[in-house]
């Protein structure tokens, strides 16, 4: 399936990845696929009970999308290991990135994780974490990062990317342009970071350059406000960070997505409509909304309206679909 003959609603829906409640193909999930025509779903503990159940959920969702003349779905999960691992036993439980001491550890994690994800119908892992926590602060990422050395983070993250993708699972490097310097959790409120692009280039950005060199499928933007890069908007809504720095200066041609728009760092300061308008202006490909709420429908309607009323936005939407579909095709989803 190609997107050249897509309706405006199909174009809009492909730019959403959403969460839902339930462990089966229920009416809510059917609505998201059939009516909002979402391009992807993301799974959390609320959706998971056993390997057999997860497989049935993923297979039935894909079959339903096909029956609605929709392209196959991205089906994503956060399976970093350690603190953030949605799949529990009987899936393999890894101790997490700080425990990886060799590239062989990274390869083992990625190969086993890819096999287990593919086995239940998941095709995208929101990993690896490419953040570099500084040693002299209480970084929110210390327990999730590979370590404090940017070159080590780059090497380990690149190994995970290569191994995940070499074994059929799309990797998503996060959280651009780096949240290792922050101490406030963006789930709660907006962290502010006063660091120059020069400072960040030799630390925070180095692992993401490595991820780009390995053709990572996706890069997730953080909700941090980097005041020297964009004094008004967090990275996830910032054209300067997403378009100028990541795309134009660093040359990334894959899928750019936001972190979860349900987080306090966004919801406390932006309506979903305003957030989506900023996201579209920044040429971000996918908006991530991880929990069931009216915001999902509002986001869809905002994207749909922008396509209908702006020829520029329709052109940009086709560019996003081109990036999205290059990976849906590469990973045999179409």
Active site residues: 259
Report how far apart, in Å, the C-alpha atoms of 136 and of each of 145, 187, 199, 263 are. 15, 23, 16, 26
Tokens matching residue 28: 């809510």
Distance CA 221, CA 151 (A): 21
**Rounded Cα gap, residues 111 and 104, in angstroms:** 10
Q: How many angstroms separate the CA atoms of 218 and 122, rounded?
A: 15
Residue 329 neighbours by CB distance under 10 Å: 13
Q: Are the CB atoms for 227 and 264 separated by under 8 Å?
A: no
User: Residues near 330 by Cβ (< 8 Å), separated by ≥ 6?
Assistant: none
Among residues 35, 49, 36, 43, which one has the least CA distance to residue 19?
43
Residue 41 in 3-state DSSP?
Answer: strand
Unique residue bearing structure tokens 């696929």? 33
What is the SS3 string spanning 270-333? Answer: CCHHHHHHHHHHCCCCEEEECCCCHHHHHHHHHHHHHHHHCHHHHHHHHHHHHHHHHHHHHCCC
Residue with tokens 């287990």: 116
- Type and span of the H or E element at 258: strand 255-260
Distance (Å, whole) CA 311 – CA 195: 37
Taking the C-alpha atoms of residue 250 and residue 208, their distance in angstroms, rounded to an integer, is: 9
In the three-class reduction of DSSP (H, G, I as helix; E, B as strand; rest coil), residue 170 is classed as: strand
């Amino acid at each position: 399936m190609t997107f050249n003959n897509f309706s405006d609603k199909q174009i809009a829906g492909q730019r959403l990845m959403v969460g839902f409640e339930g462990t089966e193909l229920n009416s809510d999930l059917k609505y998201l696929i059939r009516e909002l025509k979402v391009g992807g779903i993301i799974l959390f503990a609320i959706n998971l009970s056993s390997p057999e159940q997860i497989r049935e959920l993923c297979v039935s969702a894909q079959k339903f999308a096909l029956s609605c003349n929709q392209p196959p779905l991205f089906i994503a999960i956060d399976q970093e290991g350690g603190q953030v691992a949605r799949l529990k036993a009987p899936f393999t439980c890894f101790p997490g990135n700080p425990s990886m001491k060799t590239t062989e550890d990274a390869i083992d994690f990625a190969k086993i994780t890819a096999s287990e994800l593919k086995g239940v119908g998941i095709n995208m892992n929101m990993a690896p974490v490419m953040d570099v926590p500084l040693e002299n602060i209480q970084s929110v990422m210390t327990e999730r990062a590979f370590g404090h050395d940017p070159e080590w983070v780059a090497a380990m993250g690149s190994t995970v990317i290569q191994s995940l993708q070499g074994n059929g699972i799309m990797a998503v490097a996060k959280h651009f342009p780096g949240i290792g310097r922050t101490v406030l959790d963006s789930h709660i409120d907006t962290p502010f970071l006063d660091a120059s692009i020069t400072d960040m280039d030799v630390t925070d950005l180095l692992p993401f350059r490595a991820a780009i060199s390995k053709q990572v499928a996706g890069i997730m933007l953080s909700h941090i406000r980097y005041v020297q890069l964009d004094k008004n908007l967090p990275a996830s809504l910032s054209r300067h960070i997403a378009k100028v720095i990541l795309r134009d200066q660093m040359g990334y041609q894959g899928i750019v997505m936001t972190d979860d728009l349900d987080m306090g760092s966004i919801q406390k300061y932006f309506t979903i409509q305003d957030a989506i308008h900023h996201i579209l202006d920044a040429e971000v490909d996918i908006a991530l909304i991880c929990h069931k709420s009216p915001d999902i429908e509002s986001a869809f309607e905002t994207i749909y309206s922008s396509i209908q009323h702006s020829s520029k936005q329709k052109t940009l939407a086709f560019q996003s679909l081109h990036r999205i579909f290059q990976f849906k095709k590469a990973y045999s989803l179409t």
